Amino acid sequence: MENKNNDLIVTHSLVKTYQDNGIPVKAVRGIDLTIQKGEFTAIVGPSGSGKTTFLNIISGLDVPTDGEVWLAGKKISEMSGSELSDFRRDHIGFIFQAYNLIPVLTVEENIEYIMLLQGVDKEERHRRVQKILTEVGLDGYADRLPTKLSGGQQQRVAVARAIVSQPSLILADEPTANLDSQTGVELLDMMRELNKKSGITYVFSTHDRMIMERARRLITLKDGRIDSDETRE
């Protein structure tokens, strides 16, 4: 199975079955889905719908029981170990609801951490950090520790860290869950603007109505299957 040039994520007959006290439970039931480069997509559904499992599989954090996952033209469902870790490092940026910043590192050190693992040289790391801090509205915050930032500012640092390594895909799992509504709106509008400017693909897993309203594509899962798939302008 080959990807078309503009396809970023392709899943084919994706199945994930868990064992619950010896009873098989299908969390994902044969999902066929294509997400193209540059999309701003939300995956939604009630608890138990399979959206978290699906996100974990397309990110390579979990492996499917059956079916295929392609990301950026590579079949990640057959990767394992260091090959998969390196691929995730170079192609996927993660944004979590809990921010997951390293408390003993400054804002700049948190943002440059993935680039350090990628072997990007010091001058280029510094240049990219300064540029992304301007883009996320945190000029002058490079030397601060996460504990000196508000929740919204910490999540902006998390967004900057995810983007600065120039991944193919940003996966955001409930990124506004710990923010008040005004801060959440500002963060989402900022991410939409960055999506337009950079062309990086965003895929959200969420219950948040604000994200659903701003997503240009809304995929609803129910009982491990796609229940609806709506694209909007």
In degrees, rounded to 5, the angle at the alpha carbon of residue 187 between the alpha carbons of residues 181 and 192 is 125
Q: How far apart are the first and last CA of the chain?
A: 30
Give the whole-number percent of the chain exceeding pLDDT 70: 98
CA–CA distance, 104 with 71 (Å, rounded to integer): 33
Yes or no: say if 95 and 173 are a contact pair by the CB < 8 Å rule: yes
Asked if residue 192 has pLDDT above 80, the reply is yes
CA atoms 108, 110, 111, 114: torsion sign: positive
Torsion of CA 12, 205, 87, 216, to 10 degrees: 80
For residue 58, with 0-12 CB atoms within 10 Å meaning exposed, 13-18 middle and 19 or more buried, which class applies? buried
Contact of 210 with 188, CB cutoff 8 Å? yes
Task: Find the mean pLDDT for residues 68-86.
Answer: 92
The mean pLDDT value for 26-41 works out to: 96
DSSP result, 128-157? HHHHHHHHTT-TT-TT--GGGS-HHHHHHH
What are the percentages of helix, strand and coil residues in the chain, rounded to 5?
40, 30, 30
For the stretch 48-65, pLDDT in tens is: 899 989 999 999 999 999
Mean pLDDT of 204-217: 92
Dig out the tokens for 174 from the structure.
């409930």
Cβ atoms 55, 203 nearer than 8 A: yes
Bridge-based pairing state of the strands 7-20 and 225-231: unpaired
* Integer Cα distance of 8 and 36 in angstroms: 5
Domain boundaries, the chain: 7-231
Is the CB of residue 111 less than 8 Å from the CB of residue 157? yes
Question: How confident is the model at residue 31, as a pLDDT?
Answer: 96
Mean pLDDT for the stretch of residues 86-97: 91
Return the CATH architecture of domain 7-231: 3-Layer(aba) Sandwich (3.40)
* Between 104 and 208, the higher pLDDT residue: 104
Q: What is the pTM of this model?
A: 0.90
